[in-house]
Structure 1
């Protein structure tokens, strides 16, 4: 009987319960905990499979789980998992790519519109009994620069077509067919940053993209430009971004992710910044899609059938 540990945050309580029930029907021995309210180290000692959301699965966790054979990521980004160590120990890692793409793309555009029209600030003023006209910017006809043209980047581009935006993209992965359909042109990163009115970061975090947006790259951006990040906080050098925003070198930033979460308050409290709490994939529909993919893979694992979306 496979011993499965499910560690998801409390917002996914419904999916947590569903996964537990479905896997128990398959004959698995399932223990479910709430991320950050229970320590993984207290529960992993006999786990053969770990289903994890944002928890860091590193050498310490692996040492404490000598029977661990499979890590299933509830989401796409696997930067919280020590893949090199997992590979050394022959621990299989899978994720659920594309299942959160629509949800994250929706949020990206929500943040873009909110920062462009000062929605968060206007909401705060009215709720505090005030009434003030705040000027913003039109989106129609502006240039949108998308960093990373994977599933999320492509869905952001599709949404942008409805606003008649001029869309450009940068990334190692170039889906030329989709780009042509959506009217997207691939350009290099420096040109994208220098010419875009809105820059949305959709790429994965890895060693080569750590602090991809640094002081030098920020200096290329227009003073009228907005930066939106819905991917990973460490893609941006936050110290450089704070300085850039304080000096009004760019007009503003809309951030769903940060280097540390909760974030550095110096950044979060700047007047020209709006924030959300890493909610890109936090929709009922997205959670259900991810859960179904995970259940299917665990079922394959139990039946010793091939797994999908294998990372290592």
Structure 2
């Protein structure tokens, strides 16, 4: 596969592409592409690079008409991951700009992280750590997972990996996903139910749907009120799916027992966010999908997809 450096200039504002492995950069350069890595949030550098770029591996910034007005030569925009909710797909199609992503590439690390959050919350690991650091000594009586019910909202690649791991702990799994087929349900021995029933029955609810107009604020005040007081909520999908104010109120009032969030409506999380002072809430910085092994696979596949698309549009 060959490409001309005169016509194929690849820029990346992804926080992971080419940062932890040289392999994707070597693939692009071996195909004749020039490559420029742009630091996350460096809008000036991005605007300077876009006019000459033919391929853009985007991060979390808006990929829309305003941004792409600076990119007259763009042929392909890629996401080094699955979610393209920051892409204006309608405008990209109108411009004839190809889009690529890497679905499922980080399913395992997100699933591992999800189960880690469930265990940490259920067993009170963080609370016990804080207690010991404060000079207190004594057991934290957590909730065992064996025999509990996990409700998975969205049963795609990540949801299915979470189900696999949860069954190892002896959890039963129910799911809600209008697009899931019976074959996938049978393969993982899970039951499909409506969202309301899932929220009412689950001891743990884990969200794994993409952000779209149909899923925005999918879990709000009314949905949280359906959950049991002992239930836990995990969101490692996208921030806009969960009403953060409603969650803060529910945790403060003790409507649910705890939650863990790796994604937020605004990222980075603002310093004045009320979530920072909410009890029984574990926060992390959109990091669930980042493991060394997964990054190697995802970034390589992203580079390969960019090259294939450039070759097709040459």
> TM over 0.5: same fold?
yes
Within the alignment, does 1:178 sit opposite 2:180 as a pair? Answer: no
Unaligned runs of 5+ in 2: none
Within the alignment, does 1:280 sit opposite 2:278 as a pair? Answer: no
The match for 2:148 is 142
Provide the rounded CA distance (Å) in 2 between the counterparts of 1:49 and 1:275.
34
For 1:91-130, list aligned pairs within 5 A: 91-130=97-136
Normalising by structure 2, we get a TM-score of: 0.92
Q: Secondary structure at the match of 1:159?
A: helix
Q: Is the 8 A contact 1:199 1:227 kept in 2?
A: yes
Provide the rounded CA distance (Å) in 1 between the counterparts of 2:58 and 2:134.
40
Provide the rounded CA distance (Å) in 2 between the counterparts of 1:35 and 1:21.
21
Unaligned runs of 5+ in 1: 307-312
Provide the rounded CA distance (Å) in 2 between the counterparts of 1:98 and 1:246.
35
Among 42, 60, 68, the residue aligned to 2:74: 68
The match for 2:137 is 131
The match for 1:309 is none
- 273-282 vs 30-39, greater mean Cα deviation: 30-39
Provide the rounded CA distance (Å) in 2 between the counterparts of 1:37 and 1:13.
16
Within the alignment, does 1:301 sit opposite 2:306 as a pair? Answer: no
Q: Secondary structure at the match of 2:41?
A: coil
Provide the rounded CA distance (Å) in 2 between the counterparts of 1:32 and 1:262.
20
Q: Cα offset for 1:182?
A: 2.3
Normalising by structure 1, we get a TM-score of: 0.92
Provide the rounded CA distance (Å) in 2 between the counterparts of 1:253 and 1:149.
20
Q: Secondary structure at the match of 2:13?
A: strand
Aligned residues: 305
Q: Cα offset for 1:254?
A: 0.9
Q: Cα offset for 1:131?
A: 2.9
Deviations 1:56-114 (A, max 9, x none): 21222100111111001100000111111111111111110010100101111011111
Q: Cα offset for 1:130?
A: 4.1
Q: Cα offset for 1:222?
A: 0.6
The match for 1:259 is 265
The match for 1:46 is 52
Among 32, 35, 40, the residue aligned to 2:37: 32
Among 9, 24, 28, the residue aligned to 2:15: 9
Provide the rounded CA distance (Å) in 2 between the counterparts of 1:48 and 1:130.
59
Q: Is the 8 A contact 2:149 2:171 kept in 1?
A: yes
Against the structure 1 CA distance between its residues 22 and 38, is the aligned structure 2 distance closer, same or farther, given a 3 Å change threshold?
farther
Against the structure 1 CA distance between its residues 89 and 11, is the aligned structure 2 distance closer, same or farther, given a 3 Å change threshold?
closer
Provide the rounded CA distance (Å) in 2 between the counterparts of 1:145 and 1:268.
26
Within the alignment, does 1:55 sit opposite 2:61 as a pair? Answer: yes
Q: Cα offset for 1:44?
A: 0.7
Provide the rounded CA distance (Å) in 2 between the counterparts of 1:171 and 1:201.
11
- 236-245 vs 143-152, greater mean Cα deviation: 236-245
Q: Cα offset for 1:269?
A: 2.5
CA RMSD, Structure 1 to Structure 2 (Å):
1.8
Among 170, 173, 193, the residue aligned to 2:199: 193
The match for 1:289 is 297
Provide the rounded CA distance (Å) in 2 between the counterparts of 1:93 and 1:217.
34
